[in-house]
A and B are shown apart, each in its own frame.
Chain A
Amino acid sequence: MSEVTLIKGEGIYPEPDVRRIRPHRRLLWKYFTIILLLWLIIIIIIFAISFFIFTGLLGLDQDLRERLTGVVDLFILICVSLSSIVFLPILIVLPFYVKSMEFIVHGDEVVVKKGLVNKTVKHCPYRNIVNISTTVGPLDRIFRIGCVNIETAGKSGYIAEPEEKLEGLYLYHEIRDYILRRLRAYQSTQTGPKEPFDIPTDRESLQRESIRTLKEIRDLLKERIR
């Protein structure tokens, strides 16, 4: 352990580059856990069915019982193999699917990239965003990740699912707050009568704009002096 010095400064924070957010690798562990739990449940159901069939066979004579036991064993083998054929490829493909996910929240829109075979890129402009929420399920709490859900005005029908989901985020609170701040800053420029010049209303953008203007004046003066 050591002491730490945090220097946050009292000046202006520069506009950062576009930041690509990838889901945390714990999202992969969450998906693995879900798939393995489902697989386990199916295997338990298969064995439970076989057990009931087997206990039903106990009343029969020995020769018939032996033949039917073989059939039950074959039934278990086929069911377990079929479930493995379904679940194993999913487990193999999952890491590539999670790796293909990418989210961008800087700029004028939220971009969500997903998919392996069908690669989907969804653009969601801030002007269309109506609702933002975070979801943290029981497995999310175990793995300490969360999901930011974005709903837009253009959503059609009675679909209960949000328009965009930013899954597997470790800093989901901070990212949600960041999107909310951008949304509020965007919405505050939309209300009220239109100004002749595009003047930013939030303090940070105003300061950044002032510094940019002063730098331009300084450069112009330098050129004149030369």
Chain B
Amino acid sequence: MILAVAQKQEFLTEYELEVFKLVNEGNNPQEIADKINSDSRFEGQKERRKENIRKTRVVVRNKIERELRRIATTNRLDLDLAKMPKDTGMMIAFDWVHNTKVYLFFTTEKGILAWWEHECSNRCEPICHETLDLILKERKIELPPETKDASLLEQFRYTVSVIREKGE
């Protein structure tokens, strides 16, 4: 069940959000700088170079991690910081109340999504499917054919493993 309705996130600026999106698409800093400089939304702002993009990446990473950590602390989740995948906009936590893993994702469209690992029932499957589709779309991940027939839980686990590999 969804316990809170999400709105667009507010802790990243438009420029930082754009950098995050372009990093997720697999662009290098020079390509990101060129795209931002040619974007009409940032017209009139100073010209960005790859050094600026690198600094921005660090700022974005820290902001997202701080926000994810805040959400985890608010919901009394156990974070294993030693195994945290860096620069992925994702955190893996553990909920002692439900005795299951929790995946916290940062998305540009719906802010922070926290998904408790579970075998979906008929009632929650549409919502979980929508969540997974959003994450796959934003992170540009394609599910292999053998995983498409598997349960949503297996699909989520596969998605998480791909995101972790990208971060490492």
Query: Which residues of A approach B to under 8 Å, CB–CB?
Result: 1-14, 16, 19, 21, 170-171, 174-175, 177-178, 211
Query: Are the CB atoms of B2 and A7 closer together than 8 Å?
Result: yes
* Given A2-B67, A14-B153, residue A9 in contact with residue B121 (CB < 8 A): yes
Q: CB of B100 within 8 A of chain A? A: yes
Q: CB of B168 within 8 A of chain A? A: no
Q: CB of B167 within 8 A of chain A? A: no
Give A182's nearest chain B residue, CB to CB. B99
* Given A2-B11, A4-B111, A171-B96, residue A9 in contact with residue B6 (CB < 8 A): no
Residues of B within 8 A of A6 (CB): 2-4, 75, 114, 116
Query: Are the CB atoms of B114 and A7 closer together than 8 Å?
Result: yes
Q: How many residues of B contact A (CB 8 A)?
A: 41
Residue pairs across A and B with Cβ atoms less than 8 A apart, 25 shown, are: A1-B10, A2-B8, A2-B9, A2-B111, A3-B7, A3-B111, A4-B6, A4-B112, A5-B6, A5-B114, A7-B2, A7-B116, A8-B98, A10-B121, A11-B118, A12-B119, A13-B98, A13-B99, A14-B117, A14-B153, A16-B101, A170-B78, A171-B78, A174-B78, A174-B96
Residues of B within 8 A of A8 (CB): 1, 3, 98, 116, 118
Q: Which of B100, B115, B123 contacts A7 (CB 8 A)?
A: B115
Residues of B within 8 A of A5 (CB): 2-6, 110-114, 131
Q: CB of B71 within 8 A of chain A? A: yes
Q: What separation, in Å, do the CA atoms of A21 and B121 have in the docked complex?
A: 31
Q: CB of B124 within 8 A of chain A? A: yes
* Given A12-B119, A16-B99, residue A7 in contact with residue B127 (CB < 8 A): yes
Name 19 extra pairs, CB < 8 A, besides A7-B1, A7-B116, A11-B119.
Answer: A2-B8, A3-B4, A3-B5, A4-B111, A4-B112, A5-B5, A7-B128, A8-B98, A8-B116, A8-B118, A9-B124, A11-B118, A12-B119, A13-B100, A16-B99, A21-B78, A170-B78, A171-B76, A211-B119
Residues of A within 8 A of B75 (CB): 6
Residues of B within 8 A of A1 (CB): 10-11, 67
10 smallest CB-CB distances across A and B, nearest first, come from: A174-B96, A2-B9, A9-B118, A11-B121, A13-B100, A2-B111, A5-B6, A11-B119, A6-B3, A3-B7
Give B111's nearest chain A residue, CB to CB. A2
Q: What separation, in Å, do the CA atoms of A90 and B23 have in the docked complex?
A: 46
